[in-house]
Amino acid sequence: MNIRDIMRASPVMPVIVIDRVEDAVPLAQALVAGGIRVLEVTLRTAAALESIQAIAAAVPDAIVGVGTVTKPEQFAQVKAAGARFAVTPGLTDELAEAAKAAGIPLLPGVMTPSEVIAALAHGFDAMKLFPAEQAGGLGMLKALGGPFANVLFCPTGGVTLESAPRFLALPNVACVGGSWLVPKDKVAAGEWHVVTQLAREAAALKA
Ligand code: 3PG
């Protein structure tokens, strides 16, 4: 799957932080049960890499990817762990080259027109607008749609179940990212049915 296919596979890409490896598989199963298959597991915890491995091995219906990639050497590591795509909060030349070298589809983060131009120069025409609300939200995406009509965005950062439909209604938005589907306290308590219900609501949003 290329990155546009992955973005279109589900209206919401959950931004996931996993503290305990043992939560990875039940959490992924809970999201998939609710209809959310594309999962961004962030490299923010010690458990992240092993969690990606566990999900890739045990949850075949999940399309597991990795988020918060900030170092070039991480692309090869996460690909070996089973990640099928990668998301970065921003982009450098080194990150762009390393993602290409690793052969992993990349959704690079951008926040300004200059960053969009730089990402396009590296051959990326699908991008994460991050942090989306702080960058200007709906108005920013509408404005970027003028000069960059061919760029598809996944706005992430400050997006909620309530605001998501307004983002998804824009022609240059394929999906939104958000952490609201995976509340920390529900994960800690193993309340997977709550995660499934949140996933169900998110999956029902129109992309
Ligand atoms: C993040 O990097 O944590 C994502 O942007 C999620 O942001 P959110 O918590 O505002 O959904």
Measured in angstroms, how far is the CA atom of residue 162 from the centroid of ligand 1?
Answer: 15
Q: Where are the domains of the chain?
A: 3-203
User: pLDDT tens for residues 124-156?
Assistant: 999 999 999 999 999 999 999 999 999 999 999
Of the residues 15, 36, 88, which should be mutated to test ligand 1's pocket, given the most ligand atoms within 8 Å of the CB? 15
Is pTM beyond 0.80? Reply is yes
> What mean pLDDT is predicted for residues 15-27?
98
DSSP secondary structure of 110-155: E-SHHHHHHHHHTT--EEEETTHHHHTHHHHHHHHTTTTTT-EE--
Question: Checking DSSP bridges between strand 176-178 and strand 152-153, what pairing results, if any?
Answer: unpaired
Alpha carbon distance 134, 64 (integer Å):
27
Q: Using a pLDDT cut of 70, give the percent of the chain over it.
A: 100
Return the CATH number of the domain spanning residue range 3-203: 3.20.20.70
Protein residue closest via CA to atom 9 of ligand 1: 179
Residues with CB under 6 A from ligand 1: 15, 130-131, 156-159, 177-180
User: pLDDT tens for residues 46-83?
Assistant: 999 999 999 999 999 999 999 999 999 999 999 999 99
